[in-house]
């Protein structure tokens, strides 16, 4: 199975900061990497698909980059509504594994 | 609007069985593969199972293979997860999600405990 390692586990930031979240795959997955946001007591929400493709309705401050084994989710000027968990997931091969997540919290 | 509504969760004893349902609306259900994903309390997401639009292709996570069965009823726009030989480690919120994970339900909670 492909293992996705997310870092850092926790990111403490102030609104207005710009941040980068990392997701590293145990083997090449091309661009088959997707990012989700999950707020407390809510379902996950797709933010970015196929490493860098934007999703309708998602604010433009969210962007993704990377290919192969190294991927990054960037948030340009964090807003208070952005605090929560962020997960990456690969769809290159079965099982479609998720990373353990990065918690974005208020400093 | 797309809606996915899970049901069927609850308290089950270890070794027991349960069948979850996911009612879909707002899109052409029969044209899309579907997934089940679960999340244990205070844990991350775990992909559980996938079924293609016509049920010809099915995949399971190793942790549930041989115990869980995914199925669908396209005329009734409903996805199912039949779970048997349940264990405490199956305790989780169970979500159904569309094939590209664009849409998720609100989840249904399964607790396996005596």
For the record, the structure tokens of A73 come out as 């989710």
Mutation target vs B (from A5, A34, A39, A44; most B CBs, 10 A cutoff): A44
Find the angle CA(A47)-CA(B111)-CA(A105) to the nearest 5 degrees: 35
- What gap in Å lies between CA A33 and CA B38, rounded to an integer? 19
pLDDT tens, position by position, A81-94: 999 999 999 999 99
Q: Are B99 and B35 in contact (CB under 8 A)?
A: yes
Q: What pLDDT score was predicted for residue B1?
A: 93
Tallying the residues shown for chain A, one arrives at 107
Which residues contact residue B42 at a Cβ distance below 8 angstroms, ignoring those fewer than 6 apart? none
pLDDT tens, position by position, A17-45: 999 999 999 999 999 999 999 999 999 99
Q: What pLDDT score was predicted for residue B34?
A: 98
Q: Output the CA–CA distances (angstroms, integers) from residue B71 to A30, B77, B90, in the order listed.
A: 30, 11, 19
Q: Does B36 touch chain A (CB under 8 A)?
A: no
Q: Do A98 and B59 touch (CB under 8 A)?
A: no
- Nearest Cβ partner for B104 among A43, A98, A101: A43
Residue B99 scores a pLDDT above 90:
no
Q: Do A46 and B102 touch (CB under 8 A)?
A: yes
For the record, the structure tokens of B100 come out as 């590209």
Q: Tell me the percentage of chain B whose pLDDT exceeds 70.
A: 100
Q: What pLDDT score was predicted for residue A93?
A: 95
- Nearest Cβ partner for B61 among A44, A45, A95: A95
């Amino acid at each position: 199975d492909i293992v996705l390692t997310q870092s850092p586990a926790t990111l403490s930031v102030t609104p207005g900061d710009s941040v980068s979240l990392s997701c590293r795959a145990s083997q090449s997955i091309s661009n088959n990497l997707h990012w989700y946001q999950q707020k407390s007591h809510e379902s996950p929400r797709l933010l970015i698909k196929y490493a860098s493709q934007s999703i309708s309705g998602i604010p433009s401050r969210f962007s993704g980059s990377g290919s192969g084994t190294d991927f990054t989710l960037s948030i340009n000027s964090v807003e208070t509504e952005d605090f929560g968990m962020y997960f990456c997931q690969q769809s290159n091969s079965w099982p479609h594994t998720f990373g353990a997540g990065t918690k974005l919290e208020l400093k | 609007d797309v809606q996915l509504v899970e049901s069927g969760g609850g308290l089950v004893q270890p070794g027991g069985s349960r069948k979850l349902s996911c009612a879909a609306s707002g899109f052409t259900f029969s044209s899309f593969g579907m997934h089940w994903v679960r999340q244990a309390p205070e844990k991350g997401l775990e992909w559980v199972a996938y079924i293609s639009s016509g049920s010809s292709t099915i995949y399971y996570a190793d942790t549930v293979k041989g115990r869980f069965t995914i199925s669908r009823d396209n005329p009734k726009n409903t996805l199912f997860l039949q779970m048997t030989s349940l264990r405490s480690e199956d305790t989780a919120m169970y979500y159904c999600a569309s094939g590209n994970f664009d849409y998720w339900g609100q989840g249904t909670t399964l607790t396996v405990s005596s």
